[in-house]
Amino acid sequence: MITRRTFLRTTSATGLTLAAGGLAAPAIAQGAKLKLGYVSPQTGPLAGFAESDAFNIEAFLASEMGREFEVIVKDSQSNPNRAAEVAKELILNDEVNLMLAASTPENTNPVAGVCEGEGVPCITTVAPWQPWFIGQQGNPRDPASWKPFDYAFHYFWGMEDVIRVYTAMWNQLETNKAVGGLFPNDADGNAWGDNENGLRPGLDAAGYALTNPGSFQNLTDDFSAQINAFKSANTDIITGVLIPPDFTTFWNQLRQQGVNPKVVTVAKALLFPQSVETLGAAGHNLSSEVWWTPSHPFSSTVTGQTSAELAADFTAKTGRPWTQPIGFVHSLFEVAADVMGRADDPTDGDAVAEAIAATDLDTIVGKVAWNGAGVPEFAARNVCKTPLTGGQWRMKDGGGYDLVIVENGGASEIPTGGVMEALG
C-alpha cells in the first residue's frame, strides 16, 4: 500500500528534505532511511531544468521502491560554486549515501567533483558527456592525462550525437552550409566551441563551415559582434548552446536587424515550451536536440508509467506542459533505487560505486548501463549514452507550441512526427 508522504523540514537556505513512510532498507537499522542527496538549479537562469523536481521526487517517494528512502534536496541557484557548496553540506552534514545531480555541466561537474574527492558515489545526467568528463580533467587539452573516476558516473548523450542529429536535420533543407555558432564562456559553451573536441570537427567532416565569433558572458545584453560576424559569413544556419534569457535577447536583436537565417538549431535555450512561447510567432520552426518526449517508447521501473502517462500526469498535477527534463529527473531516481537495491551494503560508498558500474536498467529514458557502448575507452567506466533525436517547435492552432520530432536516424525506435521545415 502506498503510504502518506511526510515533509520533514524546509529551509530556504539549505533546501528540502523529503521522506516516505514504510519499510526500512534491510541493510540499515530498523526505521532508518537510505539518504539520497539531490542538487539541481531550482532558481536562477537554469531553473527551467528543475521544473519537474518536486513532481518527480514526490512520485518516487510515493512508490513502493521509494519507501526505503529520504531525499534531501539542495538548490544550486544555477551557480557552480553554490553547487559545490551544497554538495559538501549533503556529504558532511546530512551524510547522504548516494548523490544525484542534474542539469548542465554548471551543476553536474562541481557536484561530481566534490563527490569524487570525498569518496561518495554520485550519479549525474542532463549534460553532454564531453563537458562532464573532459571538463573535470586536470588538463582537458591533454588526453594522455585523462583518468577515469572511482565514484562519479554520468549518463546522457555526447557531442558526436548532437552533431549527427543537427547535420541530419540541416541536410533535409537547401542551405549554403554556412553555420554561425553562439558559445558562451561557461562549461557548456567552452566545450561546444572547442576547436578540437566541440562542434567544429564534426561539422567540417559533414561539409559545414562554422563561424565562431568568440565566447561571451552569460546574461549579456549585446550580441552585435556575433550578428555582424554571421552577416559577413552569410550564414544560413545558426547554432550554439545558450541559456534561455540569452537566446531571447539574441533572437530579438537578430530580427531587429533584418537577418533571416533558414535554420536556427540551439541547445539548452530551446528545450522548454515556455522559452519558445515567450517569442510568440517568432518561435515557429526553431529547432533543437530532443532527449525525451511523451512519444518515447519507454516505461518507468518505479511507477510503471509509460512516457506518455508520465508526461500527462505532470500536466494534470501542475497545470504545465511537459518538458524534456521530466524523463531524465525521473530516471535518476529509477537508477538510484536499482543501485541501492543491488549494493552489497548500501551504506558503503565503495559497494555502491560497484553497483553503479554494474547497472543494466531499462528506464523511462532508455537503457542505462555503464558497459562502454559507444563511448571511448578513456570514459567507458564512467559514461553511459542515451538516445538522441531532433525536433522543431510548431505553432498550434489556438496558441502554444508542439515539439515535433523530425530526425531519428540514431534512435529509430523513437517515432518521427514530421520533416524539417525552413524558418519563414
Q: Considering the chain, what is the average pLDDT of its residues?
A: 91
Residue 355 banded pLDDT, cuts 50, 70, 90:
very high
CA end-to-end distance (rounded Å), the chain: 54
Mean pLDDT of 387-409: 92
Q: What is the pLDDT of residues 55-78, one digit of tens each?
A: 999 999 999 999 999 999 999 999
State the CB neighbour count (10 A cutoff) for residue 203: 21
* pLDDT value for 9: 29
Query: In this structure, what DSSP letter does residue 262 have?
Result: S
* pLDDT value for 197: 84
Angle, CA 205 vertex, CA 204 and CA 208 arms, to 5°: 40
Query: In this structure, what DSSP letter does residue 302 have?
Result: T
Query: Measuring CA to CA, which residue among 146, 115, 120, 132 is closest to residue 353?
Result: 120
Mean pLDDT of 114-136: 96
Question: What are the start-end ranges of the H helices in 119-233?
Answer: 129-133, 159-170, 187-192, 199-205, 224-232
Helix/strand/coil for 268: strand
Cβ(243)–Cβ(269) under 8 Å?
Answer: yes
* pLDDT value for 162: 95
Q: What's the grid cell of residue 177?
A: 552550409
* pLDDT value for 312: 98
Using the predicted structure, report yes or no on whether residue 192 has a pLDDT greater than 90: yes
* pLDDT value for 31: 60
Cβ(394)–Cβ(401) under 8 Å?
Answer: yes
Cβ(240)–Cβ(266) under 8 Å?
Answer: yes
* pLDDT value for 381: 97
Rg (CA), the chain: 21
State the CB neighbour count (10 A cutoff) for residue 283: 20
Query: Measuring CA to CA, which residue among 248, 242, 239 is closest to residue 218?
Result: 242
Q: What's the grid cell of residue 64?
A: 513502493
Q: What is the pLDDT of residues 90-108, one digit of tens each?
A: 999 999 999 999 999 999 9
Q: Among 145-154, 173-182, 193-202, whose mean pLDDT is lowest? A: 193-202
Bridge pairing between strands 366-369 and 287-290: unpaired
Give domain limits for the chain: 34-157+296-384, 160-290+388-407
Mean pLDDT of 291-320: 96
Q: What is the pLDDT of residues 200-218, one digit of tens each?
A: 999 999 999 999 999 999 9
Share of the chain above pLDDT 90, in %: 84
Using the predicted structure, report yes or no on whether residue 411 has a pLDDT greater than 80: yes
- Full-model pTM: 0.89
Evaluate whether the domain defined by 160-290+388-407 bears CATH number 3.40.50.2300.
yes
More confident call, 268 vs 28: 268
Query: In this structure, what DSSP letter does residue 25 have?
Result: P
Q: Do domains 34-157+296-384 and 160-290+388-407 have the same CATH topology?
A: yes
User: Which residues does 166 contact at the CB level (< 8 Å), separation at least 6?
Assistant: 239, 265, 289, 390
User: Which residues does 308 contact at the CB level (< 8 Å), separation at least 6?
Assistant: 294, 295
Mean pLDDT of 160-173: 97
Residue 22 banded pLDDT, cuts 50, 70, 90:
very low
Residue 16 banded pLDDT, cuts 50, 70, 90:
low
Residue 2 banded pLDDT, cuts 50, 70, 90:
very low
Helix/strand/coil for 36: strand
CATH code of the region 34-157+296-384:
3.40.50.2300
Using the predicted structure, report yes or no on whether residue 19 has a pLDDT greater than 50: no
Residue 424 banded pLDDT, cuts 50, 70, 90:
confident
